[in-house]
Structure 1
Amino acid sequence: MQLSILLTQNHRLLSVAAIIDVFETTNRFLEEEKLDRQFDIQFIGLNPELPSSFSQYPYRVLSEVSEKSDLIFIPAFRSDDMAQTIQENAEFIGFLHRQFQMGANLISLCTGSFLLAAGGLLNGRQATTHIEAVDAFAQLFPSVQLQPHAIITQSENIYTSGGATSSFHMKLLLIQQHCGREMAVRIAKTFAIDMDRNNQLYFEHFKPSITNDDALVRTVQLTINKRFGEIKNVEEALDEVPSSRRNIIRRFKQATGMTPIRYLQKTKIEAAKGMLETTHKDMVEVMVASGYNDMKNFRLLFKNLTGLTPKEYRDKFGIGSMMTARPASVAHE
């Protein structure tokens, strides 16, 4: 089975290395069981030569490739300027369309989904990406049915995965499809991957940039960032801006990719997350400090934005979650 990795401009090296590591380990396990290797890895890129770090693998220049690959991986990008990154990798888009028509499986990892979306391959389809890139993605590609919570999406022969370690779940899915459940479980254990993850929302760190292009929007952002704990509803922030509500909301969404109320909600919940991570405050104190006065509403919104209840979030990321395991007790005579 031909597994091709696109060596895109500004790719994240760790994303590429993880693909190689997981599928080469699978090949090794198959050989140990006296079975044939399943994955023949090659690179496809724009530059004349392959970087020396991958020199043991076959390399094809994009313009010379006409035959179908079985699996084509688009690794994560390391650049935050996705518009520029897409432009630098535009030559891959026609190739991806041709491969899709031939029946190749197109697999994007993390922010690699931006390249698929830029080519229109995700229009009308469900897709996911890195949780911290979802707002930018939604703004650039409104025709895509973005699933911010999803670890993996599949539509026909197009796959997308969430960010960072979520991409390992994509690899496990493909290994299960092509090598069976037993091998997928063995790989999961080898790489210490929890197979039951079904949500990536709780990995988001909401730290939006303050716009310099619109003074009205900037004022609303700064007001929310400074006074979120005392603001009970978004009208209190909008009242300080000399413009109509409708105009502010339109401009705010254009500048930030979200409505003012969503910005306020995410700011409050981000503050709550910080307290759950770093303090021993009880849940009522956390709720009040983040600007809420109704526990039921606080819990509902928290779960809506993170996929976890406040207690589940503290159990996962709170001060006690990083405690090292205590050694087993030793019996003494």
Structure 2
Amino acid sequence: MLQIGILLIRHYKLLSLAAITDVLDTVNKIYHKNDQPAPFTITLVHTPEMEHLSNAFPAYASQPITADGRFNLVLVPSFTTDDIRDAIAANGAYLPWLQQQYKRGAEIASFCTGAFLLGASGLLDGKIATTHVDACREFSAAFPTVNLLPDKTVTHDSGIYTSGGATSTFHLLLHLLELHCGVEIAVRTAKIFAIDMGRDKQSYFSTFQPTRNHHDDLVASAQQRIEASYQEVGTIEEMIKDIPSSRRNIVRRFKQVTGVTPIEYLQFTRIEAAKKLLEQTGQQMAEVIYNSGYNDPKAFRKVFRKTVGMTPSEYREKFNAARS
């Protein structure tokens, strides 16, 4: 029987915790119906001051991190807050506990932004990982020694697992079920929860969300220029025209503030515009290409596929509301 510990972190996302427990409970019930012992024992793990949280889940055993508990698998749910630094600081007591569990042989899995807690523990240093696609830039800046794979739905490296955003939680759970219970149980669970087992990438769920909480007026001016005229501008010189700065200076400051160069910013802005047109309109592909600022269809398709992870036609087929 696999001893599973689920962290009751501060700022945990209820949907993440519910998905984890629901899937594990469902598998236990499958075994019970077949007159077999349940494969999982589930324990909610908390800091002493967070013991009151465990009372909200009377169906599960609970224990503080101060207890001498050993687990085969530790699960870290997603955070519900956007202030990841605050969330890590609020959960600092778990960091040495996670390190200890790993040294004792436990596997550890994080879901969505829960990867930030693993990153802070140092357990992901030098390993591959993923997290919510829209949190990848912040994660890379915070943990540069982690080999982040933004497009991946699930990663596994040396007994540590991570998943991408939201519903990628289910894909990691299926992966763990396949490892510990076999393919048959994983497939059966996928059918119960209507999970597409074939998805291994999450890049097409990404939304370009440029940084705006900075105080660099020069960069802000360049951002506004790009966003207002992305259909016309094509060179850095056109972008920074009339902005009182040298090309070298603005490129340096722009990347320092936003994490990308002005040209990359322009590209992401155009691709985001194209995605919205593909999602919300019935425009012909040639119109979409032109209206998002491209003149070369071949170049557009190449950039779109590289950025989004699928062709423009595949993206429209998946997300266009009129086709739903």
The DSSP-based 3-state class of the residue aligned with 2:53 is coil
**Residue 151 (1) aligns with residue 190 (2):** no
CA distance in 2, matches of 1:132, 1:119: 21
The DSSP-based 3-state class of the residue aligned with 1:271 is helix
CA distance in 2, matches of 1:236, 1:76: 42
Matched positions, count: 321
Equivalence for 2:313: 311
TM-score by length of 2: 0.95
Q: CA deviation at 1:123?
A: 1.5
Alignment partner for residue 52 of structure 2, among 42, 49, 52? 49
The DSSP-based 3-state class of the residue aligned with 1:124 is coil
Q: CA deviation at 1:110?
A: 0.3
Cα offsets for 1:175-233 (capped at 9, x unmatched): 01111100000000000000000210111122324244111111111111111111123
Equivalence for 1:40: 41
Equivalence for 1:100: 102
* Distance change (3 Å), C-alpha of 1:42 and 1:188: same
Is the 1:50–1:59 Cα contact (8 Å) retained in structure 2? Answer: no
* Distance change (3 Å), C-alpha of 1:49 and 1:319: closer
Paired residue type of 1:42: T
Listed as ranges, the matches of 1:178-327 within 5 Å are 178-322=180-324
The DSSP-based 3-state class of the residue aligned with 2:45 is strand
Which structure 1 residue ranges, 5 or more long, are not aligned? 323-333
Moved more, 225-234 or 122-131: 225-234
Paired residue type of 2:317: D
**Residue 160 (1) aligns with residue 171 (2):** no
Q: CA deviation at 1:259?
A: 2.2
TM-score by length of 1: 0.93
Equivalence for 2:116: 114
Is the 1:162–1:200 Cα contact (8 Å) retained in structure 2? Answer: yes
Listed as ranges, the matches of 1:80-99 within 5 Å are 80-99=82-101
* Distance change (3 Å), C-alpha of 1:223 and 1:55: same
Equivalence for 2:71: 69
CA distance in 1, matches of 2:114, 2:72: 18
Equivalence for 2:20: 19
CA RMSD of aligned residues (A): 1.3
Is the 1:76–1:111 Cα contact (8 Å) retained in structure 2? Answer: yes
CA distance in 1, matches of 2:236, 2:187: 47
Percent pairwise identity: 45
The DSSP-based 3-state class of the residue aligned with 1:291 is coil
CA distance in 2, matches of 1:311, 1:206: 20
* Distance change (3 Å), C-alpha of 1:103 and 1:247: farther
Q: CA deviation at 1:301?
A: 0.7
Q: CA deviation at 1:51?
A: 4.1
Q: CA deviation at 1:23?
A: 0.5
Cα offsets for 1:292-312 (capped at 9, x unmatched): 111111001101111010000
Equivalence for 2:63: 60
CA distance in 2, matches of 1:185, 1:291: 44
CA distance in 1, matches of 2:267, 2:190: 36
Q: CA deviation at 1:31?
A: 1.2
Moved more, 171-180 or 257-266: 257-266
* Distance change (3 Å), C-alpha of 1:71 and 1:256: same
Cα offsets for 1:148-197 (capped at 9, x unmatched): 10001111111000000011010001101111100000000000000000
Paired residue type of 1:156: S
